[in-house]
A and B are shown apart, each in its own frame.
Chain A
């Protein structure tokens, strides 16, 4: 059983734009079951500080788009990973080894067994701008997420809503909750569109340190 091998260590800090098919509150992070019965998402990551082994991945942009027929933990997920074309081959390999769960570390190692079909890394032009509640990420022409603040239904005023996990969350610990003006993705047989649903702008920090 326990074969000990020194594993490449990594750490990654960055900003994320997360959007999915759920109503506000993303059930997958609380109750485990998405309210549409299915889980479809597009998430963009902009690495602000990261290193995988000797490879510096600071500045690399990644987008994952996917769909699950049931709750995430019930598996059979189809996930496509995009990496910005400006990244070097070493950087692409490095982020792939993190996002595919190969180097361990949560949440990607726990997610790996739920993915039935993994495509990528697809190299494409990723345009990403994280600027508070109005953020956006685009991959070529076929994938786009544009976030917009939640509005108070009575007064129409912008709402400042955060979801915080003081003891550590699944993807992130503190999310600025917004909604989407545009949320769509098309890549091969992966096709989804869920505007006006849950979205969060959140810093992420992952590592495989034990």
Chain B
């Protein structure tokens, strides 16, 4: 898949004077600093953040482009210009989806997953990069941060495959509209309520807590080597899925390619993880979703 993986595999070396060659001794007994180090490597973090931004930016560019094409197609003009989207999405019911359609659908979901979830993993990724940087400077074995990020992407693309299959199933059951929006208010309202309730479950709390304390996660689950870094990425990526998966299914209600909602969910996912009162943001969203779902269901009855 053509995800432009440009993490920070080439971090710059940053001077950090925390070495042992400051002989302790002359100031014995006095309370003066002997060694002092300045850091952290801000430029280094900037490289990591820029890498993530590039990856996420590319994902969003793709989503905007595709959403535009779909709107043009769904507008009833023609199937022209929908080269990369499953034609069946643009004109559903005209013909069954081909394997190529399914593959393109999977691609879309995979890119969407990365674009929506990667920003919220930034604190964890910069911390990993910090550990790697320290090791490289000391001449110890180290693993490029891109390997760690690849762990997330590996897991999320697997999840995207599931989502694509689910969507294919819904499409076959004719429950999605041309903009891939749920046409059944009961299904839609039910999903909203389920997503709201999920915000209060122990599983969601556990995942969110793992995502909100990257330092604790890193120190508890650290594994050595390339394989270890990949496993660590998969593991943390799993917690991200645990935080967001049910929210993502809301896209079936709101429109899978509805950019506004994709962006809103992505911002929310970021907020509940990186803001100091994130747990409360998560709960507030839960209440809103339940209320909204109830209103949709009530309207349908």
Contacts and interface: CB of A to CB of B under 8 A. Distances in A.
A80 to B, nearest CB: 7
A116 B14 CA distance: 12
A107 interface: yes
Contacts of B209: 30-32
A29 B210 CA distance: 10
B215 A121 contact: no
Interface residues of A, number: 61
Given A31-B279, A101-B134, A110 B218 contact: yes
Interface string B274-286: 0011110000000
B24 A32 contact: no
Contacts of B277: 33
Contacts of B121: none
A120 interface: yes
Interface residues on B, range: 35 or more
Interface string A14-39: 00000000000000111111000100
B133 to A, nearest CB: 7
Given A33-B276, A122-B33, A5 B134 contact: no
Given A73-B214, A123-B27, A1 B143 contact: yes
Contacts of A102: 18-20, 134, 138
B38 interface: yes
A167 interface: yes
Contacts of A72: 215
Interface in B28-49: 28-41
Contacts of A168: 220
B38 A1 contact: no
B123 interface: yes
A113, A122, A142 interface centre (most CB from chain B within 10 Å): A113
A204 interface: no
Interface stretch (B164-172, B221-229, B252-260): B221-229
A130 interface: no
A181 interface: no
A9 to B, nearest CB: 13
A61 to B, nearest CB: 14
A102 B19 CA distance: 8
Interface in A103-118: 104, 106-107, 109-118
A187 interface: yes
Interface of A: 1-5, 7, 28-33, 37, 71-76, 80, 82-83, 85, 89, 92-93, 96-97, 100-102, 104, 106-107, 109-125, 139-140, 142, 167-170, 187-188, 210
Given A110-B222, A120-B35, 9 more contacts: A1-B142, A30-B213, A31-B212, A32-B214, A96-B35, A102-B20, A121-B24, A121-B34, A170-B215
12 contacts: A30-B209, A30-B213, A31-B212, A76-B40, A89-B24, A89-B25, A106-B222, A110-B127, A117-B38, A120-B35, A123-B29, A169-B220
Interface of B: 18-20, 23-25, 27-41, 123, 126-127, 129-131, 133-135, 138-144, 209, 212-216, 218-220, 222, 224-226, 276-279
